[in-house]
Amino acid sequence: MVQPFLPAWLAEPSCVGKNVTEGLVSIEDIPEVHPDLQKRLRAQGISSYFPVQAAVIPALLESTANGFLVSRGGYRPSDLCVSAPTGSGKTLAFVIPVVQALLRRAVCQVRALVVLPTKELAQQVSSVFSVYADATPLRVALLTGQKSLAKEQESLVQDTADGFRCLADIVVATPGRLVDHVEQTPGFSLQHLRFLVIDEADRVIDSMHQSWLPRVLAAAFPSEGTRDPFALLQRTQPRAVTAASDSLGIYLEKKKTSEESEVAGINSV
């Protein structure tokens, strides 16, 4: 008889308090955050991290501490699954580590992709990224369909005499518009993708009829004949995740109803 079981990160999740007015952690207590980002946090009137931020930010920074190719999780660091109520600070929890991890990038390529279910939520997340990427070399592109496809293409790639030049390090998109660019924007590449963030994953999964995720995976792990010859590492499609896979999960305690719940997923590809 086959005995059902859960991987350790689901069976024994790490839990933190749901009250954002209690258990605050001072910015100084997480020294791994870059001083420039700490300064930006203070400029935004933030002196302490909420519980979800204090749990997630160090975990992500540890996973990316040693750079692009060598980290605690190797080229494909551990995945992170976060569940927390609205207003608990999930957005900043992934914005800070992603911006910090990409600060030293030498060449502009799409390294981070954030997918959200609605245009309004995508705009909000893009605005947060813009605040913390300001005064850095990093560029943020928003793909929601509120501008024409041609206008959005202008923020993604530039056609030069030497080929296409990428103009965005971080892309925030809705599923349908993302598929449009994967299929119709010449030079738009996800072969250098490092972070895939699925925000409000429960709602995004409801739109899986658009088959956006298989298209993203196909673009990030292209077939032999379509790979970028200048990519630093020619990676291959990862195998299916099993209970024995090395993964990391953080489940953040909440008491809200299922209708009020939100799930954010951060997947390092």
Q: Which residue has the tokens 């991890």?
A: 101
- Cβ-in-10-Å burial (0-12, 13-18, 19+) of 152 comes to buried
- Tens-digit pLDDT profile for residues 147-196: 999 999 999 999 999 899 999 999 999 999 999 999 999 999 999 999 99
Rounded CA separation 19/16 (Å): 9
Neighbours of 223 (CB within 10 A): 8
Contact 112, 194 (CB under 8 A): yes
Q: Give which of 213, 217, 219 is closest to 231, Cα–Cα.
A: 219
Could you give all domains of the chain from N- to C-terminal order, each with its CATH number? Answer: 8-268 (3.40.50.300)
Rounded CA separation 3/256 (Å): 31
Residue type, 5: F
| Distant-in-sequence, close-in-space partners of 99: CB < 8 Å, separation ≥ 6 | 37, 129, 132, 133, 136, 138, 170
Q: According to the 3-state scheme, what is the secondary structure of 26-71? A: EHHHCCCCCHHHHHHHHHCCCCEECHHHHHHHHHHHHHCCCCCCCC
Can you tell me whether residue 264 is helix, strand or coil? strand
Cα 133 from chain centroid (whole Å): 14
Q: Which residue has the tokens 């870059």?
A: 34
Render each residue's pLDDT in the chain as its tens digit; 269 residues.
Answer: 777 777 777 788 888 877 777 889 999 999 999 999 999 999 999 999 999 999 999 999 988 875 544 444 444 556 888 888 888 899 999 999 999 999 989 999 999 999 999 999 999 999 999 999 998 999 999 999 999 999 999 999 999 998 999 999 999 999 999 999 999 999 999 999 999 999 988 888 776 656 899 999 999 988 765 555 555 555 556 555 554 544 444 444 333 433 333 444 555 45
